[in-house]
Structure 1
Amino acid sequence: MRRPSLTTLRATGALTAALALALTACGGDADPKSGGELAGTTVTVAGVWTGGEQKNFKKVLDAFSAKTGAKTVFVPSGDNVSTFVGSKIEGGNAPEVVLVPQVGVLRQFAEAGWLTPLSEKTATTAAGNLAPVWKEYGTVDGAYYGLYFKAAHKSTVWYAPDALEQAGVAEPKSWDELLASGRTLADSGRPAFAVAGEDGWTLTDWFENVYLSQAGPEKYDLLARHELKWTDPSVVTALTTLAEVFEDERLVAGGAAEALRTDFPGSVEKVFGPEPKAALVYEGDFVGGVARDEFGRKPGEDAKFFPFPPVGSGKAPVVSGGDAAVVLKDAKNADAGMRLLEFLATPEAAEVWAGAGGFLSPNKDVKPEAYADDTARATAASLVAAGDTVRFDMSDQAPAAFGGTKGAGEWKLLQDFLRDPSDPKRTAAALEAAAAKAYGN
């Protein structure tokens, strides 16, 4: 599942969300001071971003306004993008552009007839600087709707360098080395992993990395489309491999019980906070931003990462998430919205946010020096170098009932598996039953 922003994770209640919506919609919008081809036109953009992410995206919108003369307004959608957009369309107030964080939601929008295909200019620009896999994830029934602008690298393991130095271990290069290093870390006084089991989406990411490496991209794609059953032996094998971590208290700080009480920000705090309780935290490149912003760590210095290691004879996985920009055909200024997507397809747009930090682009033409630090440069280079071997977060491709609902589907079943990983076959059967119901087959 897509990683919610830290602000979203910590927000509580509908009142908080409503206040945030009102405050954001009223202030800080990009309003050009000079004329241009779109002078007098307003482009409204909706997305899940809050806090620093929203602030930095507004810098991109400001650059678009400076080029075109358009006024831009960003409105936070909340995590349930589908419900938000549906209500706006029904009320005759559709935003021009929506940043969609899930492949499944993009497909839902396209099948509902809400979207306008990308312009020829946007599609041509994207074809020149994005790996074909990104077009595949933005395409529904042969029509190219979604331009991937922001990506996440979800195959990074972050660590506290002092913990590895104290234990005398190096960055592991394989799954077996990872387990051995983790046990050595525990023996030296600090358990290996802070696991954010309270947030089921982190557990889906664990599974996806193991499965992609072990089973390979072809089976990964089949499972993501539910053309392969979750009872397939490859799934049982991956769950059995994952159980090697979940069942070992030297590898999971505090054991399963504590992990199930730990949310994503809490897992980062356990490694990089003032009172460290673990040496490693697996999640995406965004861990570095939380370590920096919340705990004063410097990515690349006292907060480092290594690639998620290959499992068995497989290759190192590169699992990604991302936000696709789409244009709603019922919006008042849909043509101006498409003009924004033409801009977002360029490296110029990506480099605005890259310089501000907390951002990775799948665009191969973004200059490495545009990124704010060496860690961002390294993760971006790894993502781009993976080319068509990148695979989008599997749970984000699934119907929300299976891959994106708290307390249900894959999230809950993997939490149950963390609590008791003794029977991978039973878990695989439960996953298949839930998937079949959600996919309707």
Structure 2
Amino acid sequence: MNSRKRRGYAAAAATGASLALVLTACSGGDNDGGSEASASTDCAAYEQYGDLSGKEVSVYTSIVDPESKQQTDSYKPFEECTGATIKYEGSREFEAQLPVRLQAGNAPDIAYIPQPGFLKSIVADYPDVVVPAPQAVQDNAKEYYTQSWIDYGSVDGTLYATPLGANVKSFVWYSPSAFEENGYEIPKTWDDLMTLTDKIAADHPEAKPWCAGIESGDATGWPATDWLEDVVLRTAGPEVYDQWVNHEIPFNDPQILSALQTVGGILKNDKYVNGGLGDVKTIATTPWNEAANGIPDGTCYLHRAANFYQANWDPDLKVAEDGDVYAFYLPGKTEDDKPLLGGGEFVTAFADRPEVAAFQAFLSSPEWANEKAKVTGQGWFSANSGLDPSLLQNPLDKLSFDLLTDDSYTFRFDGSDQMPGAVGADAFWKQMTAWIGEDQSDEKTLDNIEAAWPAS
């Protein structure tokens, strides 16, 4: 999820309650000249970073309130145990301003880059400014992250960045009680999903199987891009997906056209959408964070959306397998075919001072992931396999973490976030909106996006 998508999420999300840090007694040494570790903080795991008293590390990111407080709270043990100070700056203009700062020689020590494509462009444009990951970060990456995540943080075989947070997009939201009442089962394959869709349409002509919405202010259209990306993974496979994202095949390749037609078989089918909201065209004007309200209302039964959609449910609704709403994995062609679409941010350094390397290593460690889980209410998890799942505070976060760290699933990063900005955050969004709202043809939609791809 890039920073513009994040703003839509943050605006809809409730602030997660910060939890008290209940840790064992401090075992670290004194921090002369710095803040001394409190008696409630166990500093044993932080001794590897050394005494950083009086040192400061600046962090620049697109993560703003309310999530920024959860970020800064998660750094407190590092600050207390090492004596370092973390200077945090969140900006809604991050993507525009980071290159400006790099060009002006005013680089932050650390930046959280929300797209692998942006990371690649930064490395290409400022090769003498971006610092390859230090050995401690490389070691953590090998131990705690799958190869896919390492690859997304690498450019030309060099690791520059490790993931911060993560999200899973391959989910379908539903009502467990509605499924139980109607005898519906969680689909295990794509064909099962379509059979279920047809059964819901037949059983409930007054409602619709699916509900959807792609309106998101200046980012309108991004939920539709997720639909296509998920389906490309399922119909064409991960290798073709990679070729498509990297423009090794054209955007309007026949395999992508076939995937868009599959998406249209749901989203542009009046028998299937738009439960409780209107006809197909209402998808283009329905706010993405309100689109699934028909599930608890009984006017729709299925809604494809990421794990972070949980922040948009009424607080009185229980998100659980036996609750009011929950989500199941969007199935592949077969039970053994397990593509997984997701996203996240990447920790990138622009200074090679010891304190910067230490903080970057901390952010790639289980200690940080666990600390972040403690201070976040819900809707956050990491791809770090060292994260203690018992710290995740709701079942969907735990399920998302399990999927991300399960090697039997084939993970791919959000495609639009990897593409050039003129495509992924402009033409792709706009043309998918026209495809829905104006009933623009499949061919014209893909041709227009292909025409927007930069020549070099």
1:218 CA displacement: 0.8
Structure 2: stretches of 5+ with no match in the other structure: 14-32, 38-49
* Structure 2 counterpart of 1:33: 35
Cross-structure match for 1:245 = 266
CA distance, structure 2, for counterparts of residue 240 and residue 233 of structure 1: 10
- Equivalent residue for 2:18? none
Corresponding position of 2:123: 110
Instruction: State the TM-score, normalizing by the size of structure 1.
Output: 0.85
C-alpha contact (below 8 Å) 1:174/1:310 kept by paired residues: yes
Q: Following the alignment from structure 2 to structure 1, what is the Cα–Cα distance between the partners of residues 268 and 299? A: 18
Contact 1:133–1:388 (Cα < 8 Å) also in 2 = no
**1:83–1:299 CA distance, 2 compared to 1 (3 A):** same
Corresponding residue number in structure 1 for 2:424:
403
Corresponding residue SS for 1:296: coil
- 1:24 is matched with which residue? none
Q: Distance in 2 between matches of 1:431 and 1:386?
A: 33
1:166-214 superposed Cα distances (whole Å, 9 cap, x missing partner): 4432222222332332344344243232212223111111001110011
Which residue pairs with 1:344 in the alignment?
A: 363
What is the CA–CA distance in structure 2 between the aligned matches of 1:382 and 1:313, rounded to whole Å?
14
Q: 1:420: Cα distance to partner?
A: 5.6
Point out where structure 1 has 5 or more consecutive residues left out of the alignment: 12-30
Q: Is the 8 A contact 1:193 1:278 kept in 2?
A: yes
Q: Deviations over 1:289-346 (max 9, x none)?
A: 332xx543222122211101114798232011010000123xxx85422211100111
Name the aligned partner's letter for residue 77 of structure 1.
Answer: S
* 1:137 aligned to which of 152, 164, 180: 152
Any idea what SS the aligned residue of 2:88 has?
strand
Quick one: which amino acid aligns to residue 101 of structure 2?
K
Residue in structure 1 matching 2:94, options 69, 81, 104: 81
Q: Which residue is equivalent to 1:195? A: 212
Q: Are residues 196 and 362 of structure 1, via their aligned partners in 2, closer, same or farther at CA, if it must alter by over 3 Å?
A: same
Letter in 2 for 1:192: P
- In structure 1, give the amino acid aligned to 2:172: V
Give SS of 2:290's match. helix
Q: Please name the residue that 1:326 is paired with.
A: 348
Call closer, same or farther: CA 1:8–1:378 in 2, change over 3 Å.
closer
1:303 to 318, 321, 325: 325
From the superposition, tell whether residues 346 and 313 of structure 1 become closer, same or farther in structure 2 (CA, over 3 Å): closer
Aligned residues: 408
User: Take 2:434 and 2:444, find their aligned partners in 1: how far apart are those partners?
Assistant: 11
SS of the equivalent of 1:58 reads helix
Rg larger for: 2
Cross-structure match for 1:432: 450
Secondary structure at the counterpart of residue 72 of structure 1: strand
Identity percentage over the alignment?
27
CA distance in 1, matches of 2:324, 2:71: 27
Instruction: Provide the residue aligned with 2:65 in structure 1.
Output: 51
Contact 2:179 2:185 in 1 (8 A): yes
The range that moved more, 145-154 or 41-50, is: 41-50
Determine the structure 2 residue equivalent to 1:414.
Answer: 432
Residue 150 (structure 1) aligned with residue 165 (structure 2) = yes
1:371–1:269 Cα change, 3 Å: same
Residue pair 1:347, 1:363 contacting (<8 A) in 2 also? yes
Q: Is the 8 A contact 1:196 1:267 kept in 2?
A: yes
Residues 281, 438 of structure 2: 8 Å contact kept:
no
Q: Distance in 1 between matches of 2:34 and 2:268?
A: 57
In 2, the alpha carbon distance for the partners of 1:386 and 1:196 equals 32
Mapped contact 1:327–1:334 kept (Cα < 8 A) = no
1:281 maps to amino acid = H
For residues 250 and 161 of structure 1, what CA distance do their matches in structure 2 show? 22
1:290 to 308, 312, 327: 312
Q: Give yes or no for the alignment of 1:97 onto 2:110.
A: yes
Match of 1:208 in 2: 229
**1:222 corresponds to which residue?**
243
Q: 409, 413, 419: which one pairs with 1:392?
A: 413
- Tell me, yes or no, if structure 1 residue 259 matches structure 2 residue 283: yes
Q: Which amino acid aligns with 1:214?
A: T
Moved over 6 A (4+): none
Residue type at the aligned position of 1:34 = E
Asked if 1:233 corresponds to 2:254, the answer is yes
For residue 368 of structure 1, report the CA deviation from its aligned partner: 2.0
For 1:1-20, list aligned pairs within 5 A. Answer: 2=2, 3-6=5-8, 8-9=10-11
Residues in 1 aligned to 2:353 and 2:213: alpha-carbon distance in whole angstroms: 40
Kept in 2: contact 1:214–1:312 (CA 8 A):
no
1:60 positional shift: 1.7
Matched, 1:178 2:218: no
RMSD: 2.6
TM-score (norm 2): 0.82
Q: Distance in 2 between matches of 1:286 and 1:238?
A: 25
Q: How far 1:393 sits from its partner (Å)?
A: 0.7
Equivalent pair of 1:216/1:314 in contact (CA under 8 Å): no
**Structure 1 contact 214–313 (Cα < 8 Å) conserved:** no
Q: Secondary structure at the match of 2:385?
A: coil
In the alignment, the residues of structure 2 paired with residue 279 and residue 52 of structure 1 have an alpha-carbon distance, to the nearest angstrom, of: 31
Cα offset, 1:138, TM superposition: 0.9
Q: Is the 8 A contact 1:243 1:422 kept in 2?
A: no
Task: Write the distance in 2 (CA, Å) between the matches of 1:64 and 1:358.
Answer: 23
Q: What's the offset of the Cα at 1:401? A: 0.7
Question: Matched residues in 2 for 1:418 and 1:37: separation?
Answer: 57
Say whether the 8 Å CA contact 1:318–1:386 is kept in structure 2: no
